[in-house]
Amino acid sequence: MKKIINKPENYVKEMLEGLYVAHPDLITYTAGDLHCLVTANKKEGKVGIATGGGSGHLPLFLGYVGKGMLDACSVGDVFQSPSAEQMLACTKYINSGAGVLYIYGNYNGDIFNFDMAAEQADFEEDIRVESVVAGDDVASAAPTKPGEKNTRRGVAGIVFVYKCAGAAADAMLDLDEVKRIALKACANVRTMGVALTPCIVPRVGKPGFSIADDEMEIGMGIHGETGIRRGKLEPADQIAEEMVVKILADIPFSQGDEVAVMVNGLGATPLDEQYIIVRKVDELLKKAGLKIHRYYVGEYATSLEMAGISISLLKLDEELKKYLDAPAQTPFFVQL
């Protein structure tokens, strides 16, 4: 294991200490617990938005706490859910009477803890909490039929959900409305990923799975969960095409629809390679008759030092476009 760390067991704590040192104008913590990260600019009367999840995915999840996006994030150990208690502490801090919306990914540990935190917020604190679970990974399960529960994993597309819901809350919409916007963003976002190398959880010290030097896995999850297929590493254009085709087959769209596109590096893929993908994605989307409203390129949701990328599409209507375009300022996301 080659990592720039001190003791593996201090990995998350020291990462958080660094973040608080670097961004005191935007974030702080509550309940005396570094893992309960909250905004330093609480806006009175606004619906609070909280997220949470395991560490190892920076800038996800905590990197989007700030102005115009999220108000709190409870931070777990690497790839592990934070506790309901930590979520509850964040909930109490960010509630200013308008209630709190939880937005998090579709993982059992997170679901159980957020459900429990929501129940405690109601039972112990009389805080109204609503939840939206993001599940945008096309590779992880078949599309949900009406009335069925979405079993897809949540991956990088959740950033779009944060952005739209965050802007809606910032515009002082009420809890039901903010939730509606979040659900709408969830329903219109799709992601596909590809992984080239495994990652090492610091406390484990060795790769969590193996993949040959000349191989890639299309659709692998952000913790190394099985994807759609494993095969020989292909040129960038072919990889981009396979992913875009799968996404477009999944998201109902018509000619002329507008989309926002995110090309996201998983941790060890340089920006150069991400832009090589962008070039091809642009060509494919235009050929499919879509209008591209804006691009987001860079690292938005990573998996430690995993090499690979993901592509997310958010299909827009006027409402989502308005909230996507609203300004925001967080440690990892600045939009004027």
| Residues near another protein (CB under 8 A) | 76, 80-86, 108-109, 112-113, 115-116, 123, 226
Q: Give me the least distance between CB of 314 and another protein, in Å please.
A: 28
Could you give the CA distance from residue 93 to residue 31 in angstroms, rounded to a whole number?
9
Orientation of helix 158-170 relative to helix 175-187, angle to 10°: 150
Which pair of tokens denotes residue 90?
């964040």
Q: Is 57 a catalytic residue?
A: yes
Q: Around Cβ 325, how many Cβ atoms within 10 Å?
A: 16
Residue closer to another protein by CB (options 17, 124) is: 124
Could you give the CA distance from residue 192 to residue 179 in angstroms, rounded to a whole number?
25
| Catalytic option among 23, 35, 57, 293 | 57
Residue closer to another protein by CB (options 2, 145) is: 145
Q: Give me the least distance between CB of 77 and another protein, in Å please.
A: 9
Q: Is 223 a catalytic residue?
A: yes
Residue closer to another protein by CB (options 84, 243) is: 84
Residue closer to another protein by CB (options 48, 82) is: 82
> What are the residues whose beta carbons fall under 8 Å from the beta carbon of 334, sequence distance 6 or more?
328
Q: Give me the least distance between CB of 80 and another protein, in Å please.
A: 7
Q: Give me the least distance between CB of 257 and another protein, in Å please.
A: 34
Tokens 């002329």 map to which residue? Answer: 256
Question: Phi, psi at residue 207, to the nearest 5°?
Answer: -55, 140
Q: Check if the beta carbon of residue 222 is closer than 8 Å to that of residue 155.
A: yes
Residues noted as catalytic: 57, 223
